[in-house]
Structure 1
Amino acid sequence: MFHKSISLLLTLTLAPQLWAQSIDRRQEDPIPATVETMYTRGLKLLASSQAANGSWPDSSGTYPGVVGLATLAFLAHGEDPNHGPYAKNIQRTIDYLIESQRDDNGYIGTSMYNHGFATLALAESYGAVEDPRIEKALNKAVELILSAQKRNPKGGWRYSPDSKDADTTISGCQIVALLAARNAGIPVPDSAIERALKYMSSCRDTTGAYGYTSRGGAKVTLTAIGSLCYSLAKMKDAKGYAKSLRYLTKNIEYRDTHYTYYFEYYMSQALFQADEETWKLWNSQNIRLLSATQQQNGSWLGNRGPAYSTASALLSLALNYRYLPIYEK
């Protein structure tokens, strides 16, 4: 659902903890006042509704993947994870993610969706949060993703670590998590990324659009995921990438009515990494939409609960701040 053109690869590889020990506010561009207002209200909602165990008491708020997205939403605003006003909220989410991990194989949650987003949250927290448990948990989570890929004849991932088939949504989630972990200093073989991107390309049609499990039935949301994976892997010159950007640009007015916040989460990143001017146009539209749909209590509504909807909506706005390493170009 949520790559690095992610970060300055050389810097983070040589010193993975230097970036996150000091999260500096971006100064080059002014933050639109509407964005800051929405983001602040959304974070207050997440903080006030969080359960003592670090999750959220709604329809999907106990899923590790949703807790991971909420972790990212706090960090993406530049919140101090150790001493700031939301430090306890962030620490609770980390506790929850680590406690949700199986000791025997490193699996977090009960689906690769949850595992992927939880792994991404651990990768973005590594070095930023003063918690020595994160490195061990992140290493185990990455090993699980890599071992699942080795068992998968398609080179991708699906719902279970033992799945023999694959789809572009779950595979994209694992690719982003692996790239984030690699940029945090965790070993990830180039061959794993190359094999994963080969699977993704097998689902891309001649227009550059991506399907779910094949080239058929292409969708804008899936194309955003595929495009983002190539951007974060530093392969924007790869065959088909330019066509994917043209497809996304052609569909810049599109809104996914079934997976609204999932779409916004990926579309914002895909366009930002591909072409910042196109992202600016899309971002202005997204700001208007989210401003009109944010509830009085700071949440956004959706059929997967306010924690998921609010965290995902906030992350679609987070490119305005660009604090997370994954948002670096």
Structure 2
Amino acid sequence: MMPYRRQLMPVLKFAFWGLLALPFAHSPGQTSPSSTAVSPAVKQAVDKASRWLIGQQRSQGCFLDENRGDPVPQHSGALTAMAIMGLTSVGHMPTDPTPEGRAVAKGLRFMTDNIVPNEEGYLGQSDRSRMYGHGIMTLMFAEMVGQTQDEEMDRKLRTRVERAVELIMRSQDVVKSEANRGGWRYEPGSSDSDISVSVWQVMALRAANNAGVKVPKSTIDRAVEYMKRSYRSERNNQGQPVDMEAAFSYEPYGGRQTFSTTAAGMLSLQVCAQYDAPEVIGGGNYLMKNPPSPTEPWFYYGNYYYAQAMYQRGGDFAAVGREKTEQLLVQLQQPDGAWQPRNGNERSAGPIYATALGLLSLSVHYHFLPIYQK
């Protein structure tokens, strides 16, 4: 019997979540933000980006901006995982007999053959992408469970996800200060936390749960508490925030407060089923007045979270988020189809990183990947 394609089975998926009794249930009572079809300009942008992206695949199967001789070049696992998610998010599945489908299948083989977890299940060591890469790769592997119509590959993917989730949970268990408790940072043994690393781990846990890998409720509860501490508002006597238009900060005790950190905090809570938490409502209100700007650091990274968080918020938030995302990305796309980061540290991440995130940002309304479904 062929493995199922999970994007075609939302009813069974939601029933399965309920049986697990975890706080990952879909958002109650929300409707699709818009039934408007994808515009010709967005479809053209997606097609151009997909063609450009598969042109960056190297002979060994990884996606890299430069052709390096190392069998597992630095960040090749994280970048390849992002490219696979970008392509599949717009419908290019590993079973498709198309150039894009074949590229996804080849990339997936690179990942399973070359990104070998260490004895602890840590994926971020092999390509030196650390816990960022571990979360990204775990998310991708979980999203691909059941998508290949290959039972042996499916077993490999599920095993990778199971071990990777165990590593995420052990990393959360490291002794930390009260402010940092429940989050994650650069290495499994880090004693501090930040929102940009933590959001990838939370999304990976959500995707793993979607794929049937058990995630304890206590793990999610601690992550929720950590994220709520990053919301920058005074609290009343009941512990509730008093400012209902505020940002999330990079760390609970300070750091930058931007549209990207706010979108990351919102999305982290949303994938933990905190759809109507005061912090989510306040973060959404903040983003309505502080939308993404290409001049800000980490624009592509933040815009990916922004597109998802605003979509999950629904209503006018989703409509504004979609309009802003599509307008900016169509305008910023290069003639060859790539997106090129241009600010600060993001510039060094390169166009594969930005193009994969651009595709993921535009693909929220396609609903091919389970992580986008409510």
Task: Answer yes or no: same fold by TM over 0.5.
Answer: yes
2:269 aligned to which of 219, 226, 230: 230
Q: How far apart, in 1, do the equivalents of 2:53 and 2:74 lie?
A: 10
Measure how far apart 1:277 and its partner are.
2.5
Q: 1:90 to 1:105 in 2, by over 3 A?
A: same
State the Cα RMSD in Å: 2.3
Do structure 1's residue 297 and structure 2's residue 332 form an aligned pair? no
- Corresponding residue pairs, total: 313
Amino-acid identity (%): 30
Cα–Cα, structure 1 residues 171 and 253, in superposed 2: closer, same or farther, change >3 Å?
closer
SS state at 2:55 partner: helix
Gaps of at least 5 residues in structure 2 are 1-9, 21-33, 67-72, 234-242, 342-346
Q: Say which SS state the counterpart of residue 240 (structure 1) adopts.
A: helix
**Which protein shows a greater Rg?**
2
Q: Given residue 110 of structure 2, which amino acid in structure 1 is its aligned partner?
A: Y
Q: Any conservation in 2 of the 1:61–1:307 contact (CA below 8 Å)? A: no
Unpaired runs of 5+ in structure 1? 1-6, 17-26
Distance 2:35 2:231 in 1: 36
Kindly provide the amino acid, as one letter, of the partner of residue 104 in structure 2.
I
Quote the offset at 1:197 in angstroms: 1.2
Displacement of 1:95 in angstroms is 2.3
Q: Distance in 2 between matches of 1:262 and 1:190?
A: 28
Give the corresponding residue for 2:258: 219
Cα offsets for 1:113-134 (capped at 9, x unmatched): 0010111101111111232311
Alignment of 1:256-267 (within 5 A): 257-267=296-306
Secondary structure at 2:250 match in 1: coil
Aligned residue number for residue 327 of structure 1:
372
- Contact kept, 8 Å, 2:75 with 2:133, in 1: the verdict is no
Q: Deviations over 1:51-82 (max 9, x none)?
A: 12222232698432221111111111112321
Distance in 1, Cα, partners of 2:253 & 2:189 = 24
User: Is 1:95–2:109 an aligned residue pair?
Assistant: yes
Q: Is the 8 A contact 2:162 2:213 kept in 1?
A: yes
1:105 aligns with 2:120: yes
- The one of 126, 142, 153 aligned to 2:145: 126
Could you state the TM-score of these two structures normalised by the residue count of structure 2?
Answer: 0.78
**Correspondence for 2:91:** 78
2:323 to 273, 284, 296: 284
Give CA-to-partner distance per residue, 1:295-323, whole Å, 9 cap, x none: 12211112211111110111110113121
Spell out the pairing of 1:194-213 with structure 2 (5 A cutoff).
194-206=221-233, 207=243, 208-213=246-251
Aligned-partner residue type, residue 213 of structure 1: E
Q: Distance in 2 between matches of 1:32 and 1:170?
A: 33
Counterpart of 2:187 (choices 139, 143, 160) is 160
CA deviation after TM superposition for structure 1 residue 103, in Å = 4.0
Higher relative contact order, structure no. (Cα contacts within 8 Å, ≥ 6 residues apart): 1
What do the CA deviations read for 1:250-272 (whole angstroms, capped 9, x no partner)?
A: 21364452211101111000100
Code of the residue aligned with 1:161 in structure 2: it is P
- Alignment match, 1:269: 308
Once the two structures are overlaid, the 10-residue window that deviates more, 65-74 or 246-255, is: 246-255
Quick one: which of 34, 41, 45 aligns to 1:38? Answer: 45
Aligned AA (1:219): T
Within 2, Cα distance between the matches of 1:215 and 1:239?
A: 19
